[in-house]
Chains A and B, each alone.
Chain A
């Protein structure tokens, strides 16, 4: 067993076998076209709205290296040029690209559910606090990743966040965020 494992490892190291790509990691020229268009749209939106709102540039330093907008505007210009290049390149490549099968909807749904779990977890931290949110999120994530044994699922979901919480609070002296729920309960009580 050990020998087989070793042989496999040696073979991989020698041949540089590529890390297996998942079904959703299939970049296409059409995808690049979307990235190019999105980049140009974001650059336009940033130039028109985000930059004027996000950076205060006093008139006396405008268009000088002293301006807080000097470097970000240079970068915006670079992003615009790169977006345009990607757009042109992908338009040319699309004609040469062979149609490739897309990943089934089931796979995209799984990825979407994972993203939703992460989003819900972060949102719930503010409401119920880091510890409770972590316990709930871990339980759901474990189930989503395929763990079905009730005892293992429950004990892991409780133990991991609890141990981390105890370490950060009692050893590293990290103050944990006060959840909105605590404020609401205090207001009621």
Chain B
């Protein structure tokens, strides 16, 4: 208890609060710009934190880090362009809500769900810090693969009317994820002499191509009129009611628990957690038919899921010295610069610093709540732009974003090619979300599958040799069967689904 009180006073000092405020504002600004990701924001700000003391430095970096989990949602909701990969699942229900004239409600729900999920994630991380650290150590490739098999059952939940089409889209996503360097053997695959493809395709151009370009083409069909009464605008609509927010408490808890579990595993990141949160929200919803058409529950699940990773991803970094991703790697670098070496000894020698870091995370989320509410007011400006000006401008915005990620025109070309694919898919009601999920999970899935098989000499019984593996595969089986039944109940048989499409 004494440690917690000491940690609170460390986190509450003025310089830490100012640092967090600056970090959140800077992070939100970067996150709403497609092409500028959380890791870039943390890397840009890092040199400026060298002169600060350890906790203030952490406050600045964590402010940026936390806001990157939420900021991408604003453009995902308003213009179907995820600002960061974490907002990949947000676009599924956020943008349809915006198209229904409920932009304000969607923006507020995404913010509140993000902050709630984020804070719950930090509490989970703080309370199970030593346990999760030990569990994460026992996760080898077979256990990780079994967990990913469970995660992939999410695809069925976002497949729409046809499971075949959903899995076909997922196969395309997996195939796109194999472009670049082979993760085990090291040779190139489908690179065809283009050096920029060696690192593989980046997730952001894929997401922009998949969601923004088809929207642009479909919107252009409607045309528009120049100004006056003929011009069309996005509507902000009514505000979120407290009852609507609090009514989702089960969604926040479920998504935060799932996100914390995924986030504690190195390398997973926010996007898979967002999709898992979305899937769980759909799985337990009384109105699953609304998902993908503008469900406030879906939006809450996705945002709570991705933000809960923020706290959990700190666990392997702080307790084991294993950064969960590029952003936490930069934060770990900052800690080392300040003479604090993350790892098992950090908690034993500086527990007050570990807990004050988690408290700073909570503070950053609360600051983000107020800054985010201000940002929604700024979004009011976007809705005053007629759609016949907004959507062409989005094309330019998306192109700059796709290019800026790696300063490569290959990413821009990839964005357009995936955009063409996404448009064709949309015309034939092939869902885009399974492709996005498969592309995100593809590298983890392949690496852990092949590593496991290499470890066992090709025998597949390696996946059921540990209790974790058995548990996750059983969970995956239960989830797949339950989802298939739910899908049948929701959409009827496949045949009626196809004929109904006509």
Contact = CB atoms under 8 A, between A and B. Distances in A.
A72 B172 CA distance: 10
A79 B224 contact: no
B419 A118 contact: yes
A181 interface: no
B101 A5 contact: yes
A167 B446 CA distance: 38
Contact of B388 (A16, A29, A110, A146): A146
Interface string B92-122: 0000100111100100000000000000000
A148 B227 CA distance: 9
A86 B164 contact: yes
B201 to A, nearest CB: 14
A114 to B, nearest CB: 4
A54 B494 CA distance: 35
A82 B498 contact: no
Interface string B397-427: 1011001100101001100100110010011
Interface residues of A, number: 91
Interface of A: 5-6, 8-10, 12-13, 16-20, 22-29, 31-32, 35, 39, 50, 53-56, 61, 64-72, 75-76, 78-79, 82-83, 85-86, 89-90, 92-93, 96-98, 100, 107, 110-111, 113-115, 118-119, 121-122, 125-126, 130, 134, 137-138, 141-142, 144-149, 152, 156, 160-161, 164-165, 167-168, 172, 174-175, 177
A155 B402 CA distance: 24
Given A8-B101, A89-B494, A111-B220, 9 more contacts: A19-B99, A66-B450, A72-B178, A79-B168, A93-B498, A110-B221, A118-B395, A145-B223, A147-B392
A145 B409 CA distance: 26
Interface residues of B, number: 91
**Closest 4 interchain pairs by CB?**
A146-B224, A141-B392, A65-B453, A27-B429
B470 to A, nearest CB: 21
B246 interface: no
Contact of A172 (B227, B287, B404, B453): B404
Given A25-B427, A168-B400, A39 B168 contact: yes
Contacts of A78: 167, 171
A137 B396 contact: yes
Contacts of B399: 121-122, 125, 130, 134
A64 B487 CA distance: 36
Nearest to A177: B409
Contact of A118 (B185, B407, B416, B427): B416
28 contacts: A16-B289, A22-B222, A27-B427, A29-B501, A32-B428, A64-B458, A65-B449, A65-B458, A66-B184, A68-B187, A71-B178, A72-B178, A76-B175, A79-B175, A97-B502, A110-B221, A114-B217, A114-B221, A118-B217, A134-B399, A138-B392, A141-B395, A145-B387, A148-B226, A156-B393, A160-B393, A168-B35, A177-B407
A114 B223 contact: no
B167 A152 contact: no
Nearest to B222: A22
A12 B450 contact: no
Interface string B437-456: 00000000010011001100
Contacts of B393: 138, 156, 160
A3 to B, nearest CB: 10
Nearest to B413: A122
Contact of B396 (A89, A107, A160): A160
Interface string B220-248: 11111111000000010110000000000
Contacts of A119: 416
A70 B453 CA distance: 11
B188 A56 contact: yes
B388 A147 contact: yes
A129 B392 CA distance: 18
Contacts of B449: 65, 71
Contact of B171 (A75, A142, A144): A75
A9 B101 contact: yes
A161 B396 contact: yes
Contact of B221 (A54, A96, A111, A141): A111
A26 B223 CA distance: 18
Interface in B440-481: 446, 449-450, 453-454, 458
Contacts of A71: 174, 178, 446, 449-450
